Every structure is written in C-alpha cells, then in structure tokens.
Amino acid sequence: MRQYFKIFISAALLTTVALLGIGCGGEEREQILKVYNWGDYIDEDLLPEFEEWYEEQTGEKVRIVYQTFDINEVMLAKIENGEADFDVVCPSEYIVERMMRNELLLPIITPEFEAEINAKGINYFDCISPYIKEQFSMLEAPEGQDPNDYAVGYMWGTTGILYNTKYVSEEEAQSWQLMFDRRLKDKIFVKDAFRDVYSPMLIYAKTLEARKSGELGEDEMLPIETIRELMYDSSDSSIALVESYLKQMKDLVAGWEADFGKEMMTQEKAWINLMWSGDAVWAIEEAAEVDVELAYAVPKEGSVVWFDGWVIPKYAENTRAARYFIDFMCKPENAIRNMDATGYVSVITTEEVLEAMRDDELETVCDLSYLFKHSDGTPIEGADSVHIDDVLYPDRSVIERCGVMHDSGDRTDRMLEMWSRVKGDNLSAGMLIGIIVFFSVLLIWGVWRKIEAYRKRQRHLKRRRHERKTAK
C-alpha cells in the first residue's frame, strides 16, 4: 500500500512541476499577455503578429497565452472568483454591465495611454463606429463612469433563425412562430444561451398578447420603444410567460447547442436553428460547398442585437500589453482579417472596411448609414445603399426592431432556474444532496473493499511465508 502511495505522490509532484513549468521558461509575468476569448473568434495568425508589432512599438517582448470559452457565465465565474489573472477578456454587453457594477474592470482608454498612441500615430480606437459607441454608452454603469472607457467593441450581430430553404420558406422564417411548427419536430436546434432565447421569446409572447387584447392589429408589431423596455424585463410574470412558451417548444427541439448546431445544419440533421448571425454566416458558406442551401432571417416581431467587447479585468498583470492588444485589434486591416476568419462582423466601420465588405454581385441592397459613419457622425458616402451580405450587415429596418440585452442583476438566478427547468436538467437541492451522498457511500465502500482485499492478500502471503519457514 505504501508503495502505491509513493507512486501516486511522485506522479502528482511531477505533474505539478510540469504544469508550473508550462509557459514559464524563465519569463517574467510582464512578458506574458493572457487573452481569454470566445472559441473560433479571431484570426489566430494575428497573435504572433501582435507580438512583433508590440515589440516594434514599445521595444518590449511579449508572448500571448491564448485561451477560449463558450459561455459568458463560465468566463465571468473565473474572473469573479479571482481564479485566473487574464489580461484581456471578451465578454458580451450585459456581462460588461455586471463587471462594471461589481468593480471588476480597469479602464482601457486612459489619458496617458491615449497620448502615447496618438504620439505614435497608432490610435485605432477612432475607427470604431459611432453607432457602436452610442450603444455601449447606454450600458448601465456606476455613476460617473463611461462604459466606452472600460469596454472597447469587438464584434456585433443579431440573433435570428437559420433555416434550410428546402424545408422552410422565406415567409415562414419571418416569424418566431416557426419555432413552434410541429412539422419540424426533432429538426430544431436552439442556442444554449438563455438570454439570447429569453428575449426573442418574450418579444414574441408579448406581441401575441397585444394582438389578443386588441392593442395591436393582426399583422402589427410592437414599437421599438417597447422592445427596448422588454430588454430590462425579468419580472416573475415575464419569466413565467417565457417558460410557458419554451415548454411548448421543448417537445420539438432536438437539442440545445453551444456550438455544434452549425454542423447539424450543414449536414441537414437540423432544418432550423435559433442562433447568432455570425454562426449563420459560417454555416451558410459551409453548407453551400455540399449543395445545401441555408438562409438567415431576423423575425419581424423583433429580436436581439448583441455586442462583444474587449475589457481588462482588475486582476490583470500586464495592462500595458493589454491596451496595445485591444488597439491592435481595432486596426482596420486586422478587423477585416478577423471577419474573414470568423464570419462575424467587426465594430470597425471605416471606408476601408466598407469597400472590403461590399459585394456588387449581390442583389441585396442595405441601408447602413446608421453604422458606417465618420468620427464626426456624418454617414460615409454611399452607406445608405450598399450591395452587401445582409446577414453580416443588417439593414436599418432590421436594426430598428432589435433591442440590446441588459444584465438582470440578482434576477439572473431566477432566469437560470427557469432555463434549467425548460431543458429538464434541474435537480432539487434535496435530490442533489441525495445523489452526492449516494455516490460518496459507493466510493467509500469501493475503497474499503480494495483496502480489505489488499489486507487479505497480505495476510495470505504472510501465512504462506510462515508456512514455508516452518516446513524448512
């Protein structure tokens, strides 16, 4: 037994040493930049290029340690608990609100840093769309703090329906009612992101209620002011309303997915998927290569427009490199490369970007004058009529029926409980404790049996040795 214990301890020590040694190589922490981002959300060739660019600008070396996450809340838990000292993180807008409220962020754009990059002629923060900055300024923040100083936009998009045109018509995809079509049973996938599902379902449910009460005509939609108000609504009544609709949908849903829905759509194992526009672009392009035609729509009832941005957590240890990295990501040519690599849309909206993304072979024409503006707020010439992919760049008419999600504060737990009930993976506290106790007993019993078996073998060997000695 002692022998096995020694082997275990030795292995543990070796593993610990190995883990501690990873990425160190004698480097100081100031020479490492830890970046925490969504999966498949950057052109990774830019990472070593930043290391070179940073040394050119500062004369200092830096090495990027890059990690990814799939869910905002998983990332946030690590930051809140102080489990990791990431220097740059990419949360969504409502998480930015929570991080600012809980004082988890450091300012990105400081007077000193702005003066430094202005002197070098590398201030790319001015390339961010005024529309995006306006949206960030509306995020809830402690009094006296401007969210644009603590979060710099990265990507943005909408939440809608990706559908297979063989089985679903364009007209059907214009309403959230499609998610309740029994003809599509077991062919529906939904993002496992409760906020991105909650808000569209609340908009849809409230639209139907308003029509039933006569507040809206049969084909009328909620005004944008109401949709924006609903982005703050996490009342018990609204949570219950959404839950009732989601439970109606649940019987039709084949799965709740974090990332695999794209592949399910391209393989025609799913026919519709409630998902983000960036994932939709990737799926549409991949499906086309295997002769599967997919399309994307933002239902007319309304939906969500979302934003992700770079922040610097308060536990960051290399804030200088972090600020330079965020500035580097705002460089127009890098923004274009990131869009090509990920399928998502950058918040960088210079003339250079517009020209790169324009596609005159497309029939679709979009009014993007709300987005492509000069720093003084005037629209870029021709932005009101652009031949462009309308999944990537939604027309003004689409944006005018979409609201920005906000943090629900201490109501978040109630929403998560609802989401868990809908998916059917909820366990009561008593059940959870019972399961833990049951498996703990099994573990203890199993260990006890192994110990007893070992002792029995030892007694048997001892007896055999004694018998052999006696025989001699």
The letter for the amino acid at 116 is E
Instruction: Tell me, yes or no, whether 235 and 265 share the same domain.
Output: yes
Say what the pLDDT of residue 443 is: 64
Look up the domain containing 230 and give its range: 157-305
Instruction: Tell me, yes or no, whether 250 and 194 share the same domain.
Output: yes
The rounded distance, in Å, linking the Cα atoms of 472 and 469 is 5
Per the domain annotation, does 355 fall within a domain? yes
Residue 20 CA, chain-centre distance (Å), reads 29
- Single out the residue in 358, 378, 393 at which a domain terminates: 393
Instruction: Tell me, yes or no, whether 331 and 278 share the same domain.
Output: no
Per the domain annotation, does 25 fall within a domain? no
Instruction: Indicate the burial class of 382 (C-beta count within 10 angstroms; 0-12, 13-18, 19 or more).
Output: middle
pLDDT in tens, the chain (472 residues): 434 333 333 334 333 333 344 444 568 999 999 999 999 999 999 999 999 999 999 999 999 999 999 889 899 999 998 888 999 999 999 999 999 999 999 999 999 999 999 999 999 999 999 999 999 999 999 999 999 999 999 999 999 999 999 999 999 999 999 999 999 999 999 999 999 999 999 999 999 999 999 999 999 999 999 999 999 999 999 999 999 999 999 999 999 998 899 999 999 999 999 999 999 999 999 999 999 999 999 999 999 999 999 999 999 999 999 999 999 999 999 999 999 999 899 999 999 999 999 999 999 999 999 999 998 889 999 999 999 999 999 999 999 999 999 999 999 999 999 999 999 853 334 434 444 554 455 567 556 565 655 565 555 444 444 444 454 4
The rounded distance, in Å, linking the Cα atoms of 34 and 12 is 26
| 253: helix, strand or coil | strand
Q: Which residue from 70, 158, 155 is spatially nearest to 334, judged by alpha carbons?
A: 155
Instruction: Tell me, yes or no, whether 118 and 169 share the same domain.
Output: no
Say what the pLDDT of residue 465 is: 47
Instruction: Tell me, yes or no, whether 112 and 137 share the same domain.
Output: yes
Instruction: Tell me, yes or no, whether 285 and 352 share the same domain.
Output: no
Q: Which residue from 167, 233, 164 is spatially nearest to 200, judged by alpha carbons?
A: 233
How many domains would you assign to the chain? 2
Per the domain annotation, does 68 fall within a domain? yes
Instruction: Tell me, yes or no, whether 219 and 290 share the same domain.
Output: yes
Please report, for residues 56, 110, 123, the alpha-carbon distance to residue 117 in angstroms, rounded to integers and kept in the order given: 13, 11, 5
DSSP H or E run through 207:
helix 194-213
Say what the pLDDT of residue 25 is: 52
CATH classification of the domain holding 212: 3.40.190.10
Buried residues in 274-302 as b, exposed as e (16+ CB within 10 A): bbbbbbbbbbbebbeeeebebbbbbbbbb
- Single out the residue in 305, 340, 366 at which a domain terminates: 305
What is the number of other CB atoms lying within 10 angstroms of the CB of residue 180?
Answer: 15
Q: Which residues contact 95 (CB under 8 A, 6 or more apart)?
A: 72, 75, 76, 407
The rounded distance, in Å, linking the Cα atoms of 225 and 66 is 40
- Single out the residue in 372, 393, 414 at which a domain terminates: 393
Per the domain annotation, does 206 fall within a domain? yes
Angle value at C-alpha 279, between 245 and 179, nearest 5 degrees: 20
Per the domain annotation, does 347 fall within a domain? yes
Instruction: Tell me, yes or no, whether 147 and 168 share the same domain.
Output: no
Per the domain annotation, does 207 fall within a domain? yes
Long-range interactions of 446-454: CB distance < 8 A, separation 24+: 451/1, 454/1
Residue 193 — φ and ψ, nearest 5°? -145, 95
Q: Which residue from 348, 296, 285 is spatially nearest to 132, judged by alpha carbons?
A: 348
Per the domain annotation, does 405 fall within a domain? no
Say what the pLDDT of residue 430 is: 41
Q: Which residues contact 200 (CB under 8 A, 6 or more apart)?
A: 159, 176, 274, 299, 301, 302, 303, 304
Say what the pLDDT of residue 24 is: 45
Instruction: Tell me, yes or no, whether 175 and 266 share the same domain.
Output: yes
Question: Dihedral, CA atoms, 405, 406, 408, 412, nearest 10 degrees?
Answer: 50
Instruction: Tell me, yes or no, whether 280 and 330 share the same domain.
Output: no
Per the domain annotation, does 358 fall within a domain? yes
Angle value at C-alpha 267, between 155 and 279, nearest 5 degrees: 5
Q: Which residues contact 359 (CB under 8 A, 6 or more apart)?
A: 387, 388, 389
Q: Please, what is the angle between helix 46-58 and helix 319-329, to 10°?
A: 120
DSSP 100-124: HHTT-EE-SS-HHHHHHHHHHT---
Instruction: Tell me, yes or no, whether 129 and 116 share the same domain.
Output: yes
Beta bridge partners of 188: 253, 272
What is the number of other CB atoms lying within 10 angstroms of the CB of residue 136?
Answer: 24
Instruction: Tell me, yes or no, whether 167 and 300 share the same domain.
Output: yes
Say what the pLDDT of residue 165 is: 98
